Structure 1
Amino acid sequence: MIASVVSVAVCTYRRPAVVATLASIAQQELPEGVRVEVIVADNDTGREAEARVLAAAELHGLSVAYVHAPERNICVARNACLDAATGDWLAFLDDDETAGPGWLVALLSQAERSGCDAVLGPVKATYPPQAPSWLVAADFHSTAPTFTNGRILKGYAGNVLIRRSAIERYGLRFDPALGRMGGEDDAFFYRLTDGGGSIGYARDAVAYEPVTPARLSLTWLLKRSFRTGQTHGSRLLVRRGWFARGVQIAMAGAKVALCLGGALTAIGSVQSRTRWLVRGALHAGAVARLAGLKVLELY
């Protein structure tokens, strides 16, 4: 196995569910010679999570470093984890996620096979009983990487393993300017792949995330997709001149129109109609950012 120590990082903000996250880390089926250290970065202004985190660590026999990162900005907490990690690899889980027992070994195995600098795992959404059946069937809330010409160019910090030497080599940090609007994960991993780093995918490294009632709406889906489009638009802003930017606006605008047309043709199917609308919101976000509009603050 390629790693002797893995730092598993969890950023938390007023979520008692972090106790379940820590329990799932304690239940990992680790290969011989692999040791886990856990870092919990508390993003609250007070130290509200400290007592529950340390109690869970004692209960499950975990080596946990509690770090107070009180800026109420997810990037500050994630960067605190980068600074505190001592392992050969750094893994991230969200504080409302739980990992299956084979999660970490699946990430490590894929990293060994592929030689990649980072490896993503899927995040499977779990829905409450009141979730609309069409939303559960469409499963908009689960997360998996996007492949572009056979490569993964960006990632997410909800379920990932990163080579710590790559973090240092590429000078990777999470941008605090994006900490309340979203898109910080995309920017972080784009910097990795733009620099020549590689990202792999471990299908068996599954993490599970419950969907809260506040996220069971079309409005939330459209906002999230629009913000993702703005992130892509921000990337194009720094990589294109004014003429090329105008071309990109025209292309993205045409895609918005196409998606609205698709939604109209799918008027009888709420699932298909929503897919078209969510895709249209993505392109609309790119248009808005390319046109210089303020980035939507999602968090």
Structure 2
Amino acid sequence: MADTAPVHVTLGVLTFKRPEGIDKLLRVMRNQHRDPARPWRLSIVVVDNDAGGSSRDAVMAHADHPEYDLHYVIEPQQGIPIARNRAMDSAPATTELFCFLDDDEWPVDGWLDSMLRTRAATGADCVYGPIEPVFEGPVDDWLRRSKLYDRKRYREGEKLNFAASNNVMFDLARFRALDLRFDARMRFTGGSDYLFFNQAFRRGIRIHWSSEALVYDMFPVNRLTMKWQRQRQYRLGNTFAVATRIEGTNAEKAKQLARGVVRMGLGAAMSPAMLVSPYWGGRAMVHLLRGAGLTMGILGHAYQEYAPSKMKG
């Protein structure tokens, strides 16, 4: 049997003043397992969204390692969707599959092979995988028991109607043929990846879950508070609304507005549970704040979580 030609995979990573995080990710990526049945060669594109190039030294310290070809790019115009588009645009011309990870994440050693195995088994255009939080400090007992930091998991190969850019692989040529881009109108709101993959799904992209392609996500101490959780739940609801205002029909906008109002009512009704049950209290908070974010977003408010004034160096 003839040898299988290696598939060219490019990993895109955005970074902003996190040299320690990008250093760890690049070190971990040197340890990816290779299965002869699924050969690959890897390029990594790091997009520094700091015009001053604060992560240059941390990135270029890995330039001579043979496990991957490393490309460092500065995108001076701040904004997550702008930097994501720059990462895709900077992929080598022979790239077949493109991945995204964040600069505060690192994958297990079998991550890339698991992604490729799921793709081969399902015929997916896009493969999405699980995230497991790692906490930099102690987590308040109520918050830990609320399970607000937990991420839902699915069966291996399960078909999904969504994905996000924190652990994903997709067919770059297929996405380019559909002219899929991250929307700069969501420059500082977050959620441009939600809209990107929602548009992909609507245009026929097949998304499947890879249960063993695990990625760890570091939560710094400033994200281990009730205040951060409240802001994040509101922002998530607001993101769905902003995306609907960009892409949705009037009927879809009306439906989201109604959903937001209903979720706020449900959250308010469940709110006494916060006093007796962290889990059900957490569900009440999610309904109340995501509903509020959804309602306000449809009415025109876009919460700018990633505005430069809120970014931490």
Q: TM-score, normalised by structure 1?
A: 0.90
> Could you report, residue by residue, the CA deviation over 1:183-204 in whole angstroms, capped at 9, with x for unpaired residues?
1111110110111111111110
| Of 247-256 and 279-288, the range deviating more from structure 2 | 247-256
**Residue in 2 that maps onto 1:43:** 49
Q: How does 1:8-23 map to 2 (within 5 A)?
A: 8-15=11-18, 16-23=20-27
**Residue in 2 that maps onto 1:7:** 10
Q: Is 1:234 paired with 2:252?
A: no
Name the CA shift for 1:59/1:6 in 2 (closer, same or farther; >3 Å): closer
Q: How does 1:1-299 map to 2 (within 5 A)?
A: 4-15=7-18, 16-32=20-36, 33-58=39-64, 61-86=67-92, 87-144=95-152, 151-237=159-245, 238-241=247-250, 245-246=253-254, 248-292=256-300, 294-299=301-306
Q: Distance in 1 between matches of 2:145 and 2:174?
A: 38
Q: Distance in 1 between matches of 2:296 and 2:154?
A: 22
Where structure 2 has 5 or more consecutive residues not aligned to the other structure, the ranges are 307-313
Is the CA contact (8 Å cut-off) linking 2:131 and 2:217 kept in structure 1? yes
CA displacement at 1:70 relative to structure 2: 1.4
Is the CA contact (8 Å cut-off) linking 1:127 and 1:136 kept in structure 2? no
CA displacement at 1:146 relative to structure 2: 8.4
Name the CA shift for 1:229/1:54 in 2 (closer, same or farther; >3 Å): same
Is the CA contact (8 Å cut-off) linking 1:2 and 1:108 kept in structure 2? no
The CA RMSD measured in Å over matched residues stands at 2.3
Q: Distance in 2 between matches of 1:56 and 1:283?
A: 44
Aligned AA (2:14): C
Q: Distance in 1 between matches of 2:150 and 2:63?
A: 28
Name the CA shift for 1:181/1:259 in 2 (closer, same or farther; >3 Å): same
**What SS is found at the alignment partner of 1:17?**
helix
Where structure 1 has 5 or more consecutive residues not aligned to the other structure, the ranges are none
Q: TM-score, normalised by structure 2?
A: 0.87
Aligned AA (2:248): R
Q: Distance in 2 between matches of 1:217 and 1:121?
A: 26
